[in-house]
Chain A
Amino acid sequence: MLLPGFGEEGQQKLRESTAFIVGCGALGTVIANMLARAGVGHLIIADRDFIEVTNLQRQVLFDEGDVADGIPKAEAAKRKIARINSQVKVTAIVDDINHTNIERLITCEDGSKADIIVDGVDNFETRFVVNDVAVKHGIPYIYGGAVGTVGMTYAILPHAAPGTDDANQPSWERAGRATPCIRCIFEQAPPPGMNPTCDTAGVIGPVVSIIANYQVAETLKVLTGNLDAVNPAMVHVDLWQNHLKQFKVARAYDAGECVCCKKREFEFLDGKFGSSTTTLCGRNAVQLTQKSADGDRLDFEAIADRLRPHGTVKVNPFMLRADIHDNGEPYELTLFKDGRAIVKGTKEATTAKNIYAKYVGG
């Protein structure tokens, strides 16, 4: 590529880099596709889900053959990339990414950590785990999110622990380019069911592509060492309102008291917050329990409205119950006011968390 600050040297840096792509759905497929074509040497692609025909409108790496074959997204991405750029090494991880496994999964065979984490995640619980690991290990993390016609992205170059001597600071800290982390900006995850998800509200392909490619551009800047070019603002687009904005967030680190990047308490990575799952013996069901800073109050009516197009929904003051078909399988989802959920129709925690993230969100 003949670009200022890129050249053969930049291409070589890309070849020697490892990018960890968390989530290989709408954003993740675009990211994986572009990073493979750009020649990033090693991609670790993690996703817990299978491909459905309704994904094809936005998940550009997949096709009808993948749906028919019933292969997991991470594996399908690996196969497709092998045909796009055979020089790229792909590690496919078909698993739920959570606080118990992420530090192992971002570690390469030689013991080094991934050079960057790129966000294709569909829920904030996983994002906060990712943010914790990025800050703890000093790994750049490119946030992206999209739903409906709206998307948002932001490049995090995490601060080193206060008091770290110059020699041990990452290059971006020494260059004065370190940024607030995602929890400096959003202290808390939206409560479960607060916002629509891509599976309840839909998302248009263009906003996914725009946000994902923005993430890719920031990734290429970071991996080639063009730190001055990294956008310090949070980009927000609404394609239906013809609205593009860049919000200044740089002061969030100095002015705030971030639990994660300033106080170095990794609450999500330590498993203090987030959900825990229990397989309910003999019931073919999994219970998910949310642990959050504030007691969550679920808005059953709002959630019910979003679930009705997907199946029968019954609501009373204590619980919401919905029959949902996902990937051809029937599930019964029961939500309680405190955010607890039971997903019936599976014994697998990963499947239950996937159903919850897709249809309730959070």
Chain B
Amino acid sequence: MSDTITIQIPTPLRPQAGDNATVDVTGSTVGEALGALTQQFPELGGRLFKEGGNEVNRFINFYVNDEDIRFLENLDTPLKGGDELSIVPAIAGG
């Protein structure tokens, strides 16, 4: 499908995403793609967004391909088919 966005789910959030490492959705912006993701997996919403649901948690970063959405247009960042949206939490272990 040409309009498919692939979302990379990080390991700690996979239990809330049906144990999937990637989830394909459609959406023309990052906000729409994450909306489609959390509609499919409602438990993810509480992990990704702050209470209220309009702002993403600041210990998780979102990258469209290799660019941070904070320096694009945040949740309004446009997406096109084939784009990869990575959800990247800080990794604490060592």
Contact = CB atoms under 8 A, between A and B. Distances in A.
4 smallest A-B Cβ distances: which pairs? A145-B91, A147-B93, A198-B93, A187-B58
A186 B93 contact: no
A273 interface: no
A149 B11 contact: yes
Given A145-B90, A247-B88, 11 more contacts: A27-B94, A144-B94, A152-B88, A189-B92, A195-B91, A195-B93, A246-B66, A247-B61, A247-B68, A252-B70, A294-B50
A133 B68 CA distance: 26
Nearest to A208: B94
A10 interface: no
A134 to B, nearest CB: 16
Nearest to A150: B11
Contacts of B94: 23, 25-28, 119-122, 144-146, 198
Interface string A149-191: 1111000000000000000000000000000000001111111
A233 B61 contact: no
A255 B90 contact: no
Interface of B: 8, 10-12, 21, 50, 57-59, 61, 63, 66-68, 70-71, 86, 88-94
A249 B68 contact: yes
A28 B8 CA distance: 29
B66 A203 contact: no
B8 A243 contact: yes
A194 B59 contact: yes
Contact of B66 (A121, A144, A247): A247
Contact of A186 (B21, B59, B86): B59
A256 interface: yes
B66 A195 contact: no
Interface in A227-268: 233, 236, 238, 241, 243, 245-249, 251-252, 255-256
B71 A150 contact: no
Nearest to A120: B94
A61 B2 CA distance: 50
B91 A245 contact: no
Interface residues of A, number: 52
B70 A256 contact: yes
Contacts of A195: 12, 89-93
B66 A233 contact: yes
11 contacts: A27-B94, A146-B93, A147-B11, A151-B91, A152-B91, A186-B61, A191-B59, A195-B93, A196-B93, A238-B21, A252-B70
A123 interface: yes
A124 interface: yes
A78 to B, nearest CB: 19
Contacts of A121: 94
A248 B66 contact: yes
A39 interface: no
Nearest to A26: B94
A251 B63 CA distance: 13
A103 B94 CA distance: 22
Contact of A247 (B58, B59, B63, B89): B63
